[in-house]
Amino acid sequence: MPNHITANVTLFSVANGINGASVIILAVAAVLTYAWFGPSVTDRPYSGFPLIGKEDVKTTQEAKHNWLRSAKSLIYDTLARTGRPFQVLASTGPLIILPANYMDEVRNDDRMTFGGFLKKDFFTTYPGFQGFRPAVDNGVFTTSVRVGLTQSLGQVTQILSAETEVALKELYPLADVDWQSTHFSVDALKMIARLSSRIFLPEPLCHDPDWLRIAAEYTVDFFAAAYALRMVPVLLRPVVHWFLPQTRKARKDVEIATRLMDPELARRRKEYAQAEKEGRQIKKPVDALTWMETVAREKGFPAYNLVWGQLNYSLGAIHTTANTFVMAVYDLIEHPEYVKLLREEIEAHWDGGALTKSVLYNLKLMDSFMKESQRLSPVTLVPINRVADEPVTLKDGTKIPKNACLGIPVTAMTDEKLYPNALKFDGHRFYNMRMQPGNESKYQFVTTSNEHISFGHGKHACPGRFFASNEIKILLVHLLTKYDLKFPEDQGKPSPLEIGVSMAPNPRSSIMYKRRATS
Ligand code: HEM
């Protein structure tokens, strides 16, 4: 403490007859109170961008809550009115929103990084948050998805299909009975966690109920912990993160995942070391542990943490795919004419035997249907997120300060100039565009563009989208051929829960299902 302050404190305590301990307690309380309620440096808006969403509220906290409640209208209304960059106070602090026409400039510019965004927003240095460390620390995780997972798609399609059959039978077992009700988004999360784990981890670990719980829940626990910690002033986070129930839960998940995976990792290390000693080639299992281990060795990261890598697979793959799948199923129920058309398409290309990559490729109406569903119901309103690692001046003179967070929202996906009748669901939209000469690869579910950015676009476009596409198609094939679906009489298509920029199906909403007589 500087001398003059110590002197003043001493004088103050002597004058008031308060002992030293009380002064220290009072001083700590004052610092904590200031830290909690005082303005935070990280919440200070950037210069040069109008701040939207704080006009009618007094405090930063209120502005952050306003963003959580009304992100969609703040983005759409402001861009419709001004068409210009602006900033909001997101729960993470100020966030610059750039209109869609900045896409070309941002998507491949290395000065604005996706890893920087994860690092800044998700506390990757605190225990419990290690699930995003792999995506931030080095390129091993992303390369393992881009190369290992994508190249294995042919090999894993049949495994996914067989696992889907078993999972569906277990979840919806009853044959020859009337309509049953279920919370479909909860089931979908279980199914995607199970299918993805079947590919990412070896047996029997992939079926371990404790692991399956982590695979489905770590994302929720992780984001809940991040939200809770963001509400704590920056100065106090290094201490408070040890005590919040949400951060403790995330830490516990990482502990359990480590305990579950350690024996398998130790077994593999021993086996590979022995084989190397004997100069023997071994056939490694096709799973994410192998993909990450291979890339880590090639890139020179022998101490790469495969448990954290596996958690990163869950964070990236499971909720995103489950939510996209649920939205597609809701759209199917809302547009039953497509149930008939998609069943006909499946019948035309699949004999009920092995479900191959090429069968999935030929399901072009299903592909279009999924893309249309994702266009109107993306899992996030801002799929492109970056942090500027240095000051950046864009072509029109817009200056992005160093360390600023920026995002590009999905507004182009409902732009009438790009999509006639943009708000109307048209399952044939992309099928018809794809059938135009020269367009075969332009409008597939996995194709990214400035006009369809649900998987991002450019350098960081989601490398897991090919796998996600196959997983969703396999689920739809089995669901459509084996079950009839409808909404309960008293409930239409459920609206998604909108929390900030996240759009998630409401877990309380139900659908009805009935096993088809022919299945
Ligand atoms: C429907 C499901 C999915 C959606 C909607 C989705 C969406 C996204 C988005 C919006 C991005 C950021 C792109 C950008 O900034 O340009 C992204 C990145 C990424 N996704 Fe996905 N994703 C999905 C499934 C998956 C799956 C199954 C995996 C596999 C593990 C995965 C792994 C990744 C990785 C590694 C990145 C970072 C890429 C990079 O930094 O270059 N995603 N995803």
pLDDT digits (tens, 9 = 90+) for 357-373: 999 999 999 999 999 99
- Is the distance from the beta carbon of residue 319 to the nearest atom of ligand 1 less than 6 Å? no
CA of 185 to the centre of ligand 1 (A): 20
Q: Determine the residue type at 107.
A: R
Mutation choice for ligand 1 from 107, 113, 118, 455, CB with most ligand atoms inside 8 A: 455
CA of 295 to the centre of ligand 1 (A): 18
| Residues 513 and 180: beta-carbon distance below 8 Å | yes
181: helix, coil or strand? Answer: strand
Shortest-distance atom of ligand 1 to CA 323: 1
Nearest to 518 by CA among 352, 355, 364: 352
CA of 101 to the centre of ligand 1 (A): 22
- Is the distance from the beta carbon of residue 373 to the nearest atom of ligand 1 less than 6 Å? no
CA of 131 to the centre of ligand 1 (A): 14
Between β-strands 511-515 and 180-182, what pairing exists: parallel, antiparallel or unpaired?
Answer: antiparallel
For residues 404-424, give the mean pLDDT.
97
DSSP 8-state class, residue 146: I
How many C-beta atoms surround the C-beta of residue 221 within 10 A?
A: 21
Nearest to 470 by CA among 331, 377, 339, 370: 370
Shortest-distance atom of ligand 1 to CA 379: 5
CA distance 507 to 323: 11
For residues 469-483, give the mean pLDDT.
97
- Is the distance from the beta carbon of residue 383 to the nearest atom of ligand 1 less than 6 Å? yes
Mutation choice for ligand 1 from 413, 462, 501, 503, CB with most ligand atoms inside 8 A: 462
Is omega for the bond preceding 204 within 30 degrees of 0, making it cis? Answer: yes
Nearest to 294 by CA among 410, 169, 151: 151
CA distance 401 to 333: 46
Lowest mean pLDDT among 1-15, 232-246, 302-316, 425-439: 1-15
- Report whether pLDDT(40) > 90: no
Q: What angle do CA 380, 148, 326 make, to 5 degrees?
A: 30
Report the interhelical angle of 306-334 vs 364-376 (nearest 10°).
100
Domain boundaries, the chain: 3-37, 98-515
CA distance 505 to 75: 21
- Report whether pLDDT(17) > 50: no
Nearest to 247 by CA among 125, 150, 154: 125
For residues 155-166, give the mean pLDDT.
94
For residues 114-138, give the mean pLDDT.
88
CA 103 to chain centre: 20
- Is the distance from the beta carbon of residue 463 to the nearest atom of ligand 1 less than 6 Å? yes
Which residue is closest in CA terms to ligand 1's atom 40? Answer: 460
- Percent share of the chain, pLDDT over 90: 78
- Is the distance from the beta carbon of residue 457 to the nearest atom of ligand 1 less than 6 Å? yes
Which residue is closest in CA terms to ligand 1's atom 13? Answer: 456
Nearest to 319 by CA among 471, 104, 441, 116: 471
Which residue is closest in CA terms to ligand 1's atom 20? Answer: 462
- Report whether pLDDT(433) > 90: yes
- Is the distance from the beta carbon of residue 470 to the nearest atom of ligand 1 less than 6 Å? no
Which residue is closest in CA terms to ligand 1's atom 17? Answer: 462
287: helix, coil or strand? Answer: coil
CA of 132 to the centre of ligand 1 (A): 12
Residues 98-515, CATH architecture: Orthogonal Bundle (1.10)
Binding-site residue positions for heme: 462
What average pLDDT does the chain have? 90
CA of 321 to the centre of ligand 1 (A): 10
- Report whether pLDDT(123) > 50: yes
- Report whether pLDDT(326) > 50: yes
How many C-beta atoms surround the C-beta of residue 420 within 10 A?
A: 9
| Residues 95 and 70: beta-carbon distance below 8 Å | no
| Residues 168 and 479: beta-carbon distance below 8 Å | yes
C-alpha distances in Å from residue 124, one per residue of 60, 120, 209, 438? 24, 8, 27, 44
DSSP 8-state class, residue 207: G
Determine which helix (DSSP H) or strand (DSSP E) holds 84, and give its type and residue range: none
For residues 435-448, give the mean pLDDT.
94
Q: Which residues pair with 485 in a beta bridge?
A: 513
Give me the helices (H) in 172-208, please.
184-200
- Is the distance from the beta carbon of residue 464 to the nearest atom of ligand 1 less than 6 Å? yes
Nearest to 292 by CA among 303, 280, 283: 303
For residues 130-142, give the mean pLDDT.
88
Which residue is closest in CA terms to ligand 1's atom 16? Answer: 456
- Is the distance from the beta carbon of residue 148 to the nearest atom of ligand 1 less than 6 Å? no
Specify the pLDDT at position 10: 31
Locus of tokens 């909001």: 88
- Is the distance from the beta carbon of residue 316 to the nearest atom of ligand 1 less than 6 Å? yes
- Report whether pLDDT(139) > 80: yes
Determine which helix (DSSP H) or strand (DSSP E) holds 399, and give its type and residue range: strand 399-400
Locus of tokens 């809701």: 330
CA of 460 to the centre of ligand 1 (A): 8
What are phi and psi for residue 289, nearest 5 degrees?
-65, -45
- Is the distance from the beta carbon of residue 388 to the nearest atom of ligand 1 less than 6 Å? no
- Is the distance from the beta carbon of residue 312 to the nearest atom of ligand 1 less than 6 Å? no
- Report whether pLDDT(483) > 50: yes
DSSP 8-state class, residue 515: E
Shortest-distance atom of ligand 1 to CA 468: 27
Quote the ipTM score: 0.99
Which residue is closest in CA terms to ligand 1's atom 29? Answer: 464
CA distance 125 to 482: 46
CA distance 269 to 259: 16
- Report whether pLDDT(199) > 50: yes
DSSP 8-state class, residue 45: P
Highest mean pLDDT among 26-30, 90-94, 426-430: 426-430
For residues 258-276, give the mean pLDDT.
95
Specify the pLDDT at position 380: 96
- Is the distance from the beta carbon of residue 349 to the nearest atom of ligand 1 less than 6 Å? no
- Is the distance from the beta carbon of residue 386 to the nearest atom of ligand 1 less than 6 Å? no
CA of 142 to the centre of ligand 1 (A): 9
CA distance 360 to 346: 9
| Residues 403 and 388: beta-carbon distance below 8 Å | yes
Between β-strands 93-97 and 405-408, what pairing exists: parallel, antiparallel or unpaired?
Answer: parallel
CA distance 316 to 496: 20
> What pTM was estimated for this model as a whole?
0.91
What are phi and psi for residue 472, nearest 5 degrees?
-65, -40
| Residues 503 and 494: beta-carbon distance below 8 Å | no
